[in-house]
Chain A
Amino acid sequence: MMVEKPEKKRIPIRERLLSKPLSRLEDVRLLGSKCKNCGEVGLGEVSSCQNCAGEDLEVIHLSQNGKLWTYTVIRNSPPGDFKGKVPMGEGLVELPEGIRVKSPLGGDIEKLEIGMDLKFTAYPLYENENGEEVIAFRFDPV
């Protein structure tokens, strides 16, 4: 009998932010919370609506595809325990659900442009001290 190679355990970079399971990264989506009172959508699974303080919210999967609303390029390594590499694009990505999500941007920093099409990517950012893969996200050019 074949012994399957055990896969590394994966954890999200923050709880209640990414859909589960994390085994197939192409199926992972950002979570949102849609307020049943005012219709606004917050990032992640949250218990209150920041717009109307309503507490009746529905957890939704946010769309993969969005457009770049604004951006910058981080030239120097950010302070603290940054796990990536610079230079790196950072932007607000507007999604069809009516939310703009702050996100690292993949691709060529010279080709960033407001309005460009972007697609959500979940990926392993680093391995933590327990040997677990920590899953983060970014938006990449389509």
Chain B
Amino acid sequence: MKEREIVIIGCGMHKFGRFADESYADIGREAIRMALQDAGISWKDIQAAYCSTMYLPATSGARIMRPLGATGIPICDVEAACASGGVAMRQAMLGLESGEYDIALVLGVEKMPRGFMDPLMLYERWQVEMGMSTNPSYWAMRARRHMYEHGTTELHIAKVAHKSHRNSVNNPYSMYQKEFTLDEILNSPLVCDPIRLLEICAPNEGAAAVILCTKEKARQYSQKPVTVAACTHTITLYSADFRVPLDSMSAKILNPGPTEKTSKKAYEVAGIGPEDINLFEVQDTDCFCEIEIYEELGLCPLGDAGKLVDEGVTEIGGKYPVNVSGGLLCKGEPVGASHLGQVVEIVWQLRNEAGKRQVKGAKVGLAHVLGAGGNCAVTILKT
């Protein structure tokens, strides 16, 4: 057990979507103001801040936060592709656990160009020239292999999309809030076989922020603190997968995947297992990705995720509700903000403030992000 318990005393979120009239700084500051208000504190109380982005300019954190008051605190920008927010959370946790700070703010914010992300941010030039830079292609290849080895079907992938689109209708912070039929999903255009358009998330804009505080100090502020039970980050082992920008993998060695490794570490730190968790917000770059993550998080044995989908286990009323927010599929993926968005969703759920998408009696939740370079981060929250 860690000596200093860290809790979240406030959170805020700017809706995910497209906002032509707002700068990234406007979007970021809205989430910060909401978090400060929620915590009942002022900007002057913040002793350190961490800003997670991937596509914004240098020193974005300072550009967003100094106008709130140039108080001289350290403001660190953090980048780890899709896992940026988890890594920023972890850096803040380390600062608080070490005793360096008692109260810190973590902001995730992004404003991304439309369409596919700039491939040179993720791939080498030769891979781009040869056409090996379509972002969902590695997931598509993993899906094809999973189907071959375990009998997973296109219908399983579509069912995950069906669930998340249905959940999104109840989330006012989601970019898309529209239900689709299974037929509509299965008839949407193929992007990278077998992954279809209505099964892939879109890059967009948005922000989310949390205020972390030592439990001792939190007593003077919050009546409803949520404990950070674990926050872990790893980078994928050799030959554990073939995520961007990898050009090859071993045919002789298969190591545990990044999600398995990172979640195992988080379960150990929190002293719990997946069976103790009431809801999961996970990286669903596409809907096959979510299927694979069910297995790596330990919600079912390897190869059985299709069965889990068929049994409705990950529906909002199931044993393991996954992406009740609609997931990144519907919220969109403002890369730097995505993990903080998940964390805020779970805080609301654990405080019983999630409205129509509330998971009844939720006490423990897990947030998971995974991206380029095999970066993976997992945060577990509990009441």
Closest to B145 in A: A70
The interface-forming segment of B23-31, B43-51, B114-122, B294-302 is: B114-122
Q: Are B242's CB and A99's CB within 8 A?
A: no
Pick from A73, A79, A98: contact of B117, CB under 8 Å: A79
Is B129 in contact with A43, judged by CB distance below 8 angstroms? no
- Neighbouring B residues of A90 by C-beta, 8 Å: 131-132, 134, 137, 141
Please pick, from B131, B192, B247, the residue contacting A43 in the complex, using a CB distance under 8 A.
B247
Answer whether residue B140 sits at the interface, using C-beta atoms and an 8 A cutoff.
yes
Q: Which of B117, B144, B247 contacts A71 (CB 8 A)?
A: B144
A107 at the B interface (CB under 8 A): no
Q: Which of B248-256, B268-276, B362-370 contacts A (4 or more CB under 8 A)?
A: B248-256
B246:A76 contact, CB within 8 angstroms: no
CA distance A134 to B130 in the complex (A): 11
Number of A-B contacts (CB under 8 A): 135
> Do A69 and B193 touch (CB < 8 A)?
no
Inter-chain contact A84/B141, CB cutoff 8 Å: no
Instruction: Using A78-B131, A80-B119 as known contacts, say yes or no to A40 and B248 having CB atoms under 8 A apart.
Output: no
> Chain A interface secondary structure, helix, strand, loop or mixed?
strand
Considering only residues 210-245 of chain B, those with a C-beta below 8 Å from chain A are 238-239, 242
What is the number of residues of chain A that contact chain B, defined by CB distance less than 8 Å? 46
Check A13–B141 contact: CB distance below 8 A: no
Choice from B129, B140, B193, B251 contacting A99 with Cβ under 8 Å? B251
Chain B's closest residue to A134 (CB) is B129
Bound complex: CA A100 to CA B124 (Å): 18
Contact call A84/B250, Cβ cutoff below 8 A: no
Q: Is the Cβ of B131 less than 8 Å from the Cβ of A74? A: yes
A99 to B247, CA, bound (A): 10
Specify which of A71, A126, A137 is in contact with B141 (CB 8 Å cutoff). A71
Q: Tell me, yes or no, whether A101 is within 8 Å of chain B by CB.
A: yes
Q: Which residue from chain A places its CB closest to the CB of B119 in the assembled complex? A: A80
Chain A nearest CB from B244 CB (Å) reads 10
Kindly name the residue among A74, A84, A138 whose own CB sees the greatest number of chain B CB atoms within 10 A: A74
Would you call A86 an interface residue if the criterion is a C-beta within 8 Å of the partner chain's C-beta atoms? yes
CA distance A133 to B319 in the complex (A): 58
Within 20-72 of A, Cβ neighbours of B (below 8 Å) are at 40-44, 50-51, 69-72
Do the beta carbons of B142 and A94 come within 8 Å of each other? no
Q: Decide: A13 and B129 in contact? CB cutoff 8 A.
A: yes
Q: Is B182 an interface residue (CB 8 A)?
A: no
Q: Does A119 contact B (CB under 8 A)?
A: no
Closest chain B CB from A89 CB (angstroms) = 9
Establish whether residues B250 and A81, one from each chain, have CB atoms under 8 Å apart when the complex forms.
no
Bound-complex Cα distance A51 to B130 (A): 26
Asked if A102 is at the interface of the complex by the 8 Å CB criterion, the answer is yes
Residues of A within 8 A of B141 (CB): 70-72, 90-92
Residues of B within 8 A of A14 (CB): 124, 126
Can you identify 6 A-B contacts, CB atoms within 8 angstroms? Answer: A40-B253, A42-B248, A50-B239, A71-B144, A79-B115, A102-B132
Residue numbers of A with Cβ under 8 A of B are 13-14, 17, 40-44, 50-51, 69-76, 78-84, 86, 88, 90-92, 94-95, 98-104, 114, 125-126, 134, 136-138
Extra A-B contacts (4), CB below 8 Å, given A92-B249, A98-B250:
A50-B239, A75-B193, A80-B123, A101-B248
Interface residues, chain B, with chain A CB atoms under 8 Å away: 115-120, 123-126, 128-134, 137, 140-142, 144-145, 148, 189-195, 238-239, 242, 246-253
